Each structure stands twice: as C-alpha cells, then as structure tokens.
Structure 1
Amino acid sequence: MKTVTKLITLCALILSIFVNINTSAATFTFTAIPDEDESQLRTRFEKVALYLEQKLGVKVEYVPVKSYSAAVTAFRNNQVQLAWFGGLSGVQARRLVPDSQAIAQGYEDQFFKSYFIAHYSTGLERSESFPAISQKTFTFGSKGSTSGRLMPQYYIEKHLEKKPQQAFKRVGFSGDHSRTIAQVQAGAYEIGAVNYKVWETALASGKIESNKVSVIWETPAYPDYQWTIRAGVDAKFGKGFKDKVQAALLNMNDPELLKSFPRSSFVNATNKDFEPVLTVAKKIGLID
C-alpha cells in the first residue's frame, strides 16, 4: 500500500513539474492595430513586450499585422492573447471570442476625438459648426478604424444626411492615420479624417506643413483605444494571469513608454465602456 501511495505521489510530482515547465515555456503574444507607420509601431511595442516580460515572468512577443482586420483575425484564431485595439476592432474581436475582456485604456481614450483636416486649396478654416465639405474628395483611414472611419462617417451621415459615396466626389481609404495626413497635405484628397493623437504628435515633431493642411473640425468625444485580453489565458498561463496582465498595464508609468503611445497613463476599462461604439457601428451598418 505504501508503495502504491509513493508511486501516486511521484506521478503527481512529475505531472506538476511538467505543467510548470509547459506553462513557463509558453509565449504570451500580443498585437496592435496598424494605425501608424510600421517602424514606429515596432519600436513602441517591442519595448512594451520587454516591459511585460519583466512584469509577468513569461516570454512575451509582439506580433505585427498588416491591417485592422488581420489584428482581429489573429485574436480570433488565438495567434495572440492580447491586443491594443481601437474601439471598433475591440468590439468586433470580443464578439468573435466570447468572455474576452477590455482591461485597460489610455486615460485620454475615455474621451477620444477625430479631426477633419483640409488641404489649403479648399479655403476651409477651423469651425465649431460642421464644415461645408459636400462634393469634395474625402479620405478615411482604415476601413476598420474608429477614429479614422467609424465616428467620422457617423457625423458625415448625421450632418449631410447622405452616405459618404453620395456626399463626396471621391472617397478613399488611406490605410492609416499617417498616410491620411500625407495624402491631404499633398492634395491627393481635399479632406480627411484622422486620429487627433496622431495629428498632434506629427505636428509636434514637425511632420506637418501647416500652410498646406490644417484642422477644420473636431468630433464630440467618444471611447476608443483599449487593451483587450483573450478568454482562457488563465488556463494557459496560470490562475490569476489575466489580473497580472491588467495590473502590469495599469502600472505602466515609464514616461518614455507612455510618450510613445502617446498617453498620460492607463486606466481601468470594461466591455461596457465601448457600448456606444457598438451602437454607432450598428447605426451606420458596419456591424449587424
């Protein structure tokens, strides 16, 4: 009997060692929507990966993607367990993977906004009223962008009472906010919609020629970017892992890391915070 008991104990010990080795060997992967120049994103998120490795005690890898939809797909397929999503892409991802949760957002993401920008040739100037942009050429950012497509389209339809394709001479999708700025500045499009943070960062770094392109209108505030974690991470990385990830993000206080987002800090987020985004997406037909 003692021999059997010892054998059972030994087997349990071996199993425990195997599980621990397997858990520690697992790589925690994350991605981010490609809303800016790829080299800037890689620099930012490889630093985030190092920070998370130190805080979580597991190997962490940043997985770059080429599009917003690719970020959502990677999350759905469990190629990544964490993602820096925009409001719309986060809603889409959580609908595809039930029980996934928004766990942190930038302080500024609670009241985000989009800028409408115009080429100087339009003669348009900044106004609190919705600008006279009918029959101009217009570019959004990515088709899946909250600040570069969803909210701008909502306000276009609200004020012009037409779909963008009927309201403008030509409609484009640049792919990201940096390209939107470049295209409007070059005159390829007369008007564009852009993430206000990307605009202000580009302006501060001298990348915008203010005599060629300027802000003409800003949207009311709405919730946007957030970190969303995939359901099931505790089963893969150990009990309480989700809480550890959330704590690491909320306690990210390195000025250089925060500046790269740019955000002043990260605060708690929940799925409920992004219900207004879902409502707008349904209203303009981007989500059923």
Structure 2
Amino acid sequence: MFSLSISRTLKALAACALLVLAAQAPAQSVFRLTAIPDESPTELARKAAPLVKYLEQKLGTKVEFTPVTDYAAAVEALAHKQVDLAWFGGFTYVQASQRSGGKAVPLVQREEDEKFRSVFITTDTTIRSLADLKGRNVSFGSQSSTSGHLMPRSFLLAAGIDPDRDFRRVAYSGAHDATVAAVASGKVDAGALNISVWDKLVADKKVDTTKVRIFYTTPPYYDYNWTVHADMPAAQRDKLTKAFLDLSRATPEGREILELQRATRFVPTRAENYKGIEAAARSAGLLK
C-alpha cells in the first residue's frame, strides 16, 4: 500500500511538472509578413493568402499576413522588427534602410521589377504629353509610392515640369487603383500609377479603355522587393530566399502565387539595385 501510494504521488508530481513546463514554454513563434498598401485591403489579402500557406510549409512555422494602414507603417514595422518580411516598393525599401540604420536587406524581387515602369493616364483628349499637364489637376498614389509618385515625379522634373509649381493641383489618392478611379470619374485630369496594376485592371475589365488611356510610359527602373531585417538568422534568410526562388508556374501552387503577385518568377536582388531610387528621392527632395 505504501509503495502504491508513493507511485501515485510520483505520477502526480510528474504530471504537475509537465503542466508547469508547458506553461513556461514559449508560445509558438509566428512569422509575420506585411505589404505596402498600394491596392485595396481586400486585394492585398487575396494576394497574400496562398503565399502565407506556401511559406508555412516551407518555413515549418505559422505565418500571418499583417496589414498596415499606410506606407510609413510598413516601413516602421520592419525597422522595429514588428514583422519579419515586408513587400516594399523601391522607395519604401530605401526609407526602411534609412530608418533601420542600414539593416533592411532586400532578398528577392520579381523578374519584372528589374525593368519596371509607370504610366500616366487621362480621359482628356487634349492631353498627349507630359507638357500638356501644366495647369491641370493631377493625381499621384501615395506620397511614399515609388511607381505612383517618386519615379513619375522624377521623370516630370527631368522633362522640366515641376508638379508643385506647374500643376493647378497635386492630389494623392493613396493607392494605384484609387488613382485610376479618380481619373475615370473626372476628379482629376490625369494620374500616374504602376504599369502592373494598370495591366491587371485592364485585363479584369475594371477600366474602360475607350475613355481612360495611357499617354506616357516612363523609362524602366528597379522597383518592388521582399525585404527582411538584417537581424534575421542567416539560415532562415536562406530558407526564405529559396522558397521564393523555387516558385514555378509549372506547379498549380506556384502558378497561383506567381499570377497573384503578377510575377513571371522571383530572382535574387541586392541593395545596390536601389541606389538610383535613392538618388531620385534625394533629387526630388523626398529623402533627407
């Protein structure tokens, strides 16, 4: 009886010890990713869903998409390590690098981002060139957008047109699709946005091209990338890079993700690719 009692006591103590250990064990780590809100929240969530599922399989951990309210919030989230991975435009990457003290590391970009472009659109038949925008109401996207503001502004300045001096009014729609809506509705005379969103809206028949048309396409430049903080362990960084590089249109999963990301494939990138963006931002007075 005595030995049986001891056995029961030991089992009870062991059970208690397991409960204590379980309580003290750290919660399951969550890998968080975010993206600049250059499109509507519903579209961003739709694009992220299959990528989240894929990365969970490749990283072996729970992955969550964390939406942010604006471009600045995405920059701050990565700089302060509130997220592990961020989808940036070239300019927001430069801002994140500055805010983090040079600790923002771009891993991969779409093949399309090596020669990205912006387009200027209008419904006004008298607007045929950038010079015709003088005295007009013109919309950009977010002030921190590479393809919706910085690079369009940079090419305007190169053409001798200062938006703040030469336009009647400069508007900021906040997102590329919102810029198209503003132009289509007549709220502004013209607008600038990234060519990828324009092509997608046209393909989905969400814009009437008999009324809204492109009148200027910019020269190419480097743009979007997936960026991590330099404090991420090298092994995890390598695993994450490989996951993106392994995406292929030859598989149903890869095709879905790449189509939603509007990518042919992902390729490695590096900080040096965005020196031109940084120079344009400083020249335009958007980066100190």
Normalised to the residue count of structure 1, the TM-score between the two structures is 0.86
How many matched pairs? 260
What does 1:129-278 align with in structure 2 at a 5 Å threshold? 130-162=130-162, 164-234=163-233, 240-253=235-248, 254-278=254-278
Q: Deviations over 1:30-85 (max 9, x none)?
A: 10011111101101112211110000111111100111111111112211011010
How well do the aligned residues superpose, as a CA RMSD in angstroms?
1.7
Q: Deviations over 1:186-230 (max 9, x none)?
A: 110001001000000000110111122100000000000000011
Whole-Å separation in 1 of the counterparts to 2:175 and 2:202: 16
Whole-Å separation in 1 of the counterparts to 2:247 and 2:119: 28
User: Hey, what does 2:85 align to over in structure 1?
Assistant: 82
User: Hey, what does 2:110 align to over in structure 1?
Assistant: 106
User: Hey, what does 1:30 align to over in structure 2?
Assistant: 33
Percentage of pairs with the same residue: 36
What does 1:91-102 align with in structure 2 at a 5 Å threshold? 91-97=94-100, 98-102=102-106
Whole-Å separation in 1 of the counterparts to 2:172 and 2:103: 32
Matched, 1:47 2:50: yes
Unaligned stretches of 5+ in structure 1? Answer: 1-16
Shift of 1:146: 0.2
Shift of 1:130: 4.1
Whole-Å separation in 1 of the counterparts to 2:241 and 2:166: 43
Whole-Å separation in 1 of the counterparts to 2:190 and 2:236: 45
In our comparison, the structure showing a higher alpha carbon Rg is 2
Q: Deviations over 1:146-198 (max 9, x none)?
A: 00000011111121342x12111111000000000010011100010010000
Shift of 1:249: 1.3
Whole-Å separation in 2 of the counterparts to 1:218 and 1:131: 14
User: Hey, what does 2:7 align to over in structure 1?
Assistant: none
Normalised to the residue count of structure 2, the TM-score between the two structures is 0.86
SS in 1 for 2:139: strand
The answer (yes or no) to whether the contact 2:50–2:256 under 8 Å persists in 1 is no
The answer (yes or no) to whether the contact 1:134–1:160 under 8 Å persists in 2 is no
Unaligned stretches of 5+ in structure 2? Answer: 1-20, 249-253
What does 1:122-133 align with in structure 2 at a 5 Å threshold? 122-125=125-128, 130-133=130-133
SS in 1 for 2:138: strand
